[in-house]
């Protein structure tokens, strides 16, 4: 009888371990399952086409010889753009390059420091944040929140809007736990039209009149002319109560929880809106807003958030005016398909 070699299992085990590492993304950076399927679509970001929507202008803050923001040159650039009130200025604060890039391409990489970012915003806010400014231009920046999630911040007409995308896995980990079923929970068997893309939205009102909004009038539109509407509490409640294998006390607790975290539920009545600036402090409101999920074949998408501006106190007979905030994203199908399955914590 031939003696079996006791070490034959070693190459197979090593190969299996290497394969697991590759699938998890440990050898090449962050795993796809840990990335958001909707990626900010802006210049300077690696791996996206960076197709800015019409009317949006990318500006790289100029530097002087000492490596500091050239305030004079930046001011002149912004003043030139002031002439077109339809412009939205996106400040390119980071330029990513491929790890295998040539030395010439690698030399183009840069990232503003927090101090440089603050200086750019200081110069920009002097011109755009006040609702008495002559220009209706907007400012768009891309940063990260406390959890390292990419977040957009747009300033237009005295309104500051911050938008952060939340993955299903992060929402489940935070809200779909214990004896409560998250209002954002979605099983894999759900129809695509019943699934959601969820954002955390913060509104700061620097105007002297209140702001109104209706999440059902908000939308996401993709390059295939598909339209995905915003969903209010009633829509999410109906979706949750009609879901199979979900019910009882867990749904009741989830709906109570939803009233605490949804943006629209932060005001007692729709007509109350976001309060005006008082004693030098802006009126603020923050919470989650859900949209119907982007289809798998969607690529470049634009999120549109509409805010109604009440007339100033000295013009009680004036009309409400509409301010539109647009945020560009790139929908990554591969990342969407790699998202972890829903679970309760």
**Residue 296 is encoded by which pair of tokens?**
């798998």
> 275 and 211, same structural domain?
yes
Contact 79, 62 (CB under 8 A): no
Predicted model pTM: 0.85
- Rounded CA-CA distance 132/135 in Å is 9
- Rounded CA-CA distance 332/345 in Å is 27
> 162 and 140, same structural domain?
no
> 71 and 181, same structural domain?
no
In a domain, 292, yes or no: yes
Q: Which domain holds residue 283?
A: 158-328
> 190 and 132, same structural domain?
no
> 176 and 101, same structural domain?
no
Last residue of a domain, one of 109, 144, 179: 144
Other CB atoms within a 10 A radius of the CB of residue 110 amount to 16
pLDDT in tens, the chain (345 residues): 555 554 454 456 545 544 454 444 443 445 778 889 999 988 877 677 766 777 788 899 999 888 889 998 998 888 877 766 667 888 888 888 888 888 888 888 888 888 998 899 888 877 665 444 445 678 888 988 777 789 999 988 889 999 999 999 999 999 998 888 999 998 877 888 889 999 999 999 988 999 999 999 999 999 888 999 999 999 999 988 888 777 788 889 999 999 999 999 999 888 899 999 999 899 999 999 999 999 999 989 999 999 999 988 888 778 889 999 999 999 999 999 999 888 877
Mean model confidence pLDDT for the chain: 84
Rounded alpha-carbon distances, angstroms, from residue 69 to 59, 116, 206: 13, 6, 26
> 182 and 114, same structural domain?
no
Residue 58 backbone zone (phi > 0: left; psi -120 to 50: alpha; other: beta): beta
In a domain, 71, yes or no: yes
In a domain, 30, yes or no: no
Q: At 342, phi and psi to the nearest 5?
A: -65, 145
Contact 290, 196 (CB under 8 A): yes
pLDDT tens, position by position, 5-15: 544 544 565 45
Residue 123's nearest CA partner among 66, 57, 77 is 77
> 286 and 179, same structural domain?
yes
> 174 and 306, same structural domain?
yes
Burial code (b: 16+ CB inside 10 Å, e: under 16) for 186-219 equals beeebeeebbbbbbbbbbbbbbebbbbbebeebb
pLDDT tens, position by position, 185-205: 988 778 888 899 999 999 999
Contact 223, 283 (CB under 8 A): no
In a domain, 239, yes or no: yes
Contact 305, 218 (CB under 8 A): yes
> 71 and 109, same structural domain?
yes
In a domain, 150, yes or no: no
Residue 86's nearest CA partner among 155, 130, 152, 138 is 138
Last residue of a domain, one of 144, 170, 204: 144
- Give how many domains the chain has, as a whole number: 2
> 221 and 137, same structural domain?
no
In a domain, 95, yes or no: yes
- Rg over alpha carbons for the chain, rounded to the nearest Å, is 24
In a domain, 245, yes or no: yes
């Amino acid at each position: 009888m031939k003696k079996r070699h006791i070490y034959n299992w070693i190459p197979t085990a090593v190969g299996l371990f290497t394969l697991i590492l590759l699938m998890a993304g440990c050898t090449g950076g962050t795993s796809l399952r840990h990335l958001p399927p909707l990626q900010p679509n802006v210049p300077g970001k690696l791996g996206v086409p960076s197709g800015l929507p019409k009317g949006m202008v990318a500006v790289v803050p100029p530097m002087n010889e000492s490596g500091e923001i050239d305030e004079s040159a930046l001011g002149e650039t912004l003043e030139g753009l002031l002439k077109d009130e339809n412009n939205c200025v996106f400040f390119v604060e980071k330029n990513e390059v491929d790890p295998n890039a040539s030395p010439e391409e690698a030399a183009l990489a840069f990232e503003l420091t927090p101090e440089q970012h603050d200086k750019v915003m200081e110069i920009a806010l002097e011109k755009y944040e006040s609702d008495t400014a002559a220009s209706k231009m907007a400012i768009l920046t891309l940063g990260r929140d406390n959890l390292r999630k990419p977040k957009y911040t747009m300033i237009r007409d005295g309104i500051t809007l911050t938008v952060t995308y939340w993955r299903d896995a992060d929402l489940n980990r935070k809200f779909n736990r214990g004896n409560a079923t998250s209002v954002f929970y979605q099983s894999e068997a759900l129809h695509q039209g019943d699934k959601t893309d969820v954002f955390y939205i913060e509104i700061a009102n620097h105007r002297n009149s209140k702001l109104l909004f209706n999440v059902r009038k908000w939308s996401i539109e993709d390059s295939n002319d598909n339209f995905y509407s915003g969903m209010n509490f009633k829509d999410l409640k109906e979706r949750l109560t009609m879901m199979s294998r979900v019910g009882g006390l867990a749904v009741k607790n989830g709906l109570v929880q939803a009233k605490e975290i949804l943006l629209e539920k932060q005001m007692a009545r729709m007509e109350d809106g976001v309060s005006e600036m008082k004693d030098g402090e802006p009126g603020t409101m923050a919470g989650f807003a859900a949209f119907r999920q982007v289809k798998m074949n969607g690529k470049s998408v634009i999120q549109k958030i509409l805010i109604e501006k009440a007339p100033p106190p000295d013009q009680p007979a004036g009309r409400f005016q509409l301010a539109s905030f647009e945020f560009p994203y790139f929908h990554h199908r591969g990342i969407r398909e790699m998202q972890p399955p829903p679970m309760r914590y």
